[in-house]
Amino acid sequence: MSAKVRIQNDLYEYVNGEWLEKAVIPEDKPLTGGFADLDTGVEKLLMEDFTLFAEGKKTTDIKHMHYAIALYKKYLDVKQRNADGIKPVLPLLEKIEGMQSVEDLNKLAYEFEFGGVSLPVSMGVSEDMADATKHAFIMSGPSIILPDTTYYQKDHPAGKQLLQLYAGMAKCALAFTPLSEEAQQQCIDDALAFDALIAQKVKSQVEWADYVNNHNPMPLEEVAGYVKPFDLKGILAKIYGEKVPQTIVVYDPKAIKEFSGYFNEENFRLYKHWAYLKCLLSGCAYLSEELKEISTSYRRALTGVEKDPCLEKQAYRLASATYSEPLGIYYGRTYFGEEAKQDVIAMVKSIIEMYKVRIRENAFLNEATKEKAVLKLSTMAIKMGYPDEARPFYDQLVFDENDSIFAIMKTLDKKIIQHNYDELYEPVDRSIWAMPGHMVNACYNPSANDITFPAAILQKPFYSIHQSLSENLGGIGAVIGHEISHAFDNNGAQFDENGNLFNWWTESDYASFKELTQKMIEQFDGIEFHGGKVNGELVVSENIADNGGMAVTLAIMKTLKEKDYKAYFMNWARVWCRKAKEEYINLLLSSDVHSPAELRANMQPRNFSEWYETFGVTSDDKMYLPEDKRIVIW
């Protein structure tokens, strides 16, 4: 506890202040504390196991782990990578540079899509929002270099500098290519020019946060017309043969409808060099150590990270990302206790039941809407810990261990892309977990109406069978309530109990909900934080979820014979403990849908009477909020 502040003035600082003074951010990370420290602990534990696996001192009978271990060992073998240098990526770069027209691109588009070369549109397959049992073919514009479109505005304090850093990174990487110095500079200039055109058309992070607006089904003929001269129907025919999808769900309508504003015959050279540079920089991850370090310099500057992780950590992270589900199962079976699993499942069920009570007692909903909300809660699925088995898809992720790491990753990436496209005409598998067991996180999936709690998050301070129930409710309980509340945030509220995009509200009830949503936006909007300001619209869905998580767990606290509100609020603040680099804080302010951790700790308690009663908070204290400004939605 900090002796420098009163809890009534700053809950976050009071609980975490002493730790914050002493905490040191690792050189290879942008932050420490809370989620990050638990993630570091899980990573350290599994890296130790991978070392033993690689040395033959430990074995596992979990299917697919053989390839995760083989990939880990292959990445550690830097001798061949360093000897090969840039050579593995040159054939692809030569094909890109050899293009002279859009017609050339159309001939290569299928190969490029599966080979890691960025096309002027982004494509894939995802759940159909309108029918959660089916998949849909989706499309959007290409990605931009900077974190958000707002960075391209003239008055943005960091945008120009970051582009200069990106250009410097590009120059260092291009020096390894056969391009002349003049051609290298032309490549950089053209790539940045194309990126600037894209930034005028694609969605901002605030627009992406309103993800229901991604659902824009359009006829194939219409979309194909928008993206001419790119031959959309041609590449779809190569992917699907005679079963070309006739409906495209356009996630980013402006980018597609105004496609000619960034891609046409006249500016084809800009696209070509943009694709060349992106291919080179993404490929560097699997090339020599020198090229790998060059390719991460922009990202390090963006997040304030001082250096790349050690080689062993890089190898582990690659194996973890590629074989996440089998590794999560290994972690869960090895380190997750059944007692904890059953205890938390019981907690989830009790929180859902209390949520139903609160819905039925809700003051702004009529009976018809309440019944639908309770039905959604009653059908919500719980995924706790880790899945029983990895998906059969992982049987496909095999490779020749004699290949280079670059060739191996191209092989695996191609299989992953193909699998995604193959899902279009397959029914949605509700048994798939959104997160692996070794991830320190949790989530709600509106299309499946399910909540996922990986084994790795069920640790102190979030949860422990040795913590009091009050502490656990302030930690994992509030997180559980948070995820349940996503079913009723500004996005999730538009999906029904089956995961379909469907309006189940009465008109007056939804109008009342939108008024409360606007108040939540206003409560956070414009708060000054580390030289920037919170965008209330960007973070509103997560703030609604935090608010709901606290409301339902405080309601449960009232029912306990032995309750400790001080322990509840202090553990709430403890889980948000964080120390981060200024660059990373600024990045999150512009692009993260979550409010800064400090504000998550300090803002929500002010909305609840229990906060004032527990600590005697008055209008003279900084963490006081007038009653007419307090918001409780759920």
Residues marked as catalytic:
483, 546
- Report how far residue 443's alpha carbon sits from residue 297's, in angstroms, rounded to the nearest whole number: 31
- Report how far residue 585's alpha carbon sits from residue 583's, in angstroms, rounded to the nearest whole number: 5
How would DSSP label each residue in 580-629?
E-HHHHHHHHHH-SSPPHHHHHHHGGGGSHHHHHHHT--TTSTT---GGG
Cα-based distances in Å from 221 to 111, 246, 501: 23, 8, 25
Residues 6 or more apart from 567 whose CB is under 8 A from it? 468, 470, 471, 474
Residues 6 or more apart from 551 whose CB is under 8 A from it? 358, 481, 608, 632, 633, 634
- Report how far residue 16's alpha carbon sits from residue 20's, in angstroms, rounded to the nearest whole number: 6
Structure tokens at 200: 């005028």
Cis upstream peptide for 461 (omega within 30°): yes
Q: Please, what's the largest Cα pairwise distance for the chain?
A: 76
Three-state DSSP at 127 gives strand
Residues 6 or more apart from 536 whose CB is under 8 A from it? 520, 521, 522, 523, 524, 525, 526, 543
SS3 sequence, 51-82? HHHHCCCCCCCCCCHHHHHHHHHHHHCHHHHH
**Residue 191 · residue 204 · CB < 8 Å:** no
- Report how far residue 557's alpha carbon sits from residue 163's, in angstroms, rounded to the nearest whole number: 51
If 0-12 CB within 10 Å is exposed, 13-18 middle and 19+ buried, where does residue 427 land?
Answer: exposed
Residues 6 or more apart from 338 whose CB is under 8 A from it? none
- Report how far residue 53's alpha carbon sits from residue 65's, in angstroms, rounded to the nearest whole number: 10
Cα-based distances in Å from 587 to 61, 307, 566, 584: 42, 18, 33, 5
- Report how far residue 432's alpha carbon sits from residue 417's, in angstroms, rounded to the nearest whole number: 17
**Residue 360 · residue 409 · CB < 8 Å:** no
Residues 6 or more apart from 606 whose CB is under 8 A from it? 623, 624, 625, 630
If 0-12 CB within 10 Å is exposed, 13-18 middle and 19+ buried, where does residue 17 land?
Answer: middle
**Residue 354 · residue 555 · CB < 8 Å:** yes
- Report how far residue 412's alpha carbon sits from residue 403's, in angstroms, rounded to the nearest whole number: 12
How would DSSP label each residue in 362-409?
-SS--HHHHHHHHHHHHT-EEEEE--SS--GGGGG----TTS-HHHHH
Residues 6 or more apart from 627 whose CB is under 8 A from it? none
- Report how far residue 499's alpha carbon sits from residue 608's, in angstroms, rounded to the nearest whole number: 31
